[in-house]
Chains A and B, each alone.
Chain A
């Protein structure tokens, strides 16, 4: 009996919700404001960081080039962190939903792999820059301190960076990659489905 099932007929019997152009317009509006909000937050964070660093520059009036370079490196490091955190890479620009699904998934997989590499690489760069930034920034103030105090300040600073490198960085990297790994595995699985004849 089931040989006679007309799937197309059953398929078309499914009730469909009525057209609602207003709901669609509402959603488009929401999407626009959401994107704008994200952009504003990212920029406010970035400018606030730069403003704080500029404030330090102006208030502390550093004399050594090492201090100034330290501040610049710190701004650079924080900008990189914000960049990763806000996922501001323009990687998705070349991805159009009007490609064939096979092409779309191949591209998506490439992007996800690239994103994973960039995130890991940038996190490493962030820590390295921060290490140099703090080292350079402290130099001017450390040479005016008693030796014991200077050693203590450097030990604490390097200790903090080491803690961040060995404890915080792997955690952050794991968190970033966990989502990506799952998606990459899923993408590969779906692409493989298509290859089965």
Chain B
């Protein structure tokens, strides 16, 4: 598969996953780009053992999780440049709230629910994250409960 085709097919999905993780438009864009840079670097070594989707999502998830090393730096760089750009995104307040609530969850839960909402099968989520399928099922149920509760509190 050509890199450009992968980029076209997965850009939206990866961007939403990153946005669910950081809830910041420009940081999500940076993370998504970083993911595709790794994809570009590693594509020649890809042997199709895991399926291209699982492979790309693993790279994206690990790129997002790696943010815990950079968190302090991020806060400094994001704010001033992209204020205007951020204003025009997310027209629907409920959408904004969903991404905000997800980004407030613990790191692993952010990843799991984002993959679930992206329509990834639970077996594949288990494969991407390394948790058991039953663990994923339980976690998804609990996370949805948490999100419902948050929406309720906001009404």
Contact = CB atoms under 8 A, between A and B. Distances in A.
Interface in A61-98: 96-98
B22 interface: no
A27 B155 contact: no
8 contacts: A11-B95, A12-B117, A97-B42, A97-B62, A100-B128, A190-B68, A190-B106, A194-B108
A104 B55 CA distance: 13
Interface residues of B, number: 60
Given A101-B130, A103-B130, A2 B69 contact: no
Interface bracket on A: 35 or more
Contacts of A181: none
A97 B117 contact: no
A183 to B, nearest CB: 5
Contact of A8 (B38, B50, B111, B119): B119
Given A3-B148, A11-B118, A190-B107, A16 B95 contact: no
Nearest to B152: A2
Interface stretch (A18-26, A40-48, A153-161, A166-174): A18-26
A31 B99 CA distance: 30
A197 B132 CA distance: 10
Interface in B102-155: 106-109, 111, 113-114, 117-119, 127-131, 135, 138, 144, 147-148, 151-152, 155
Nearest to B134: A197
B76 interface: no
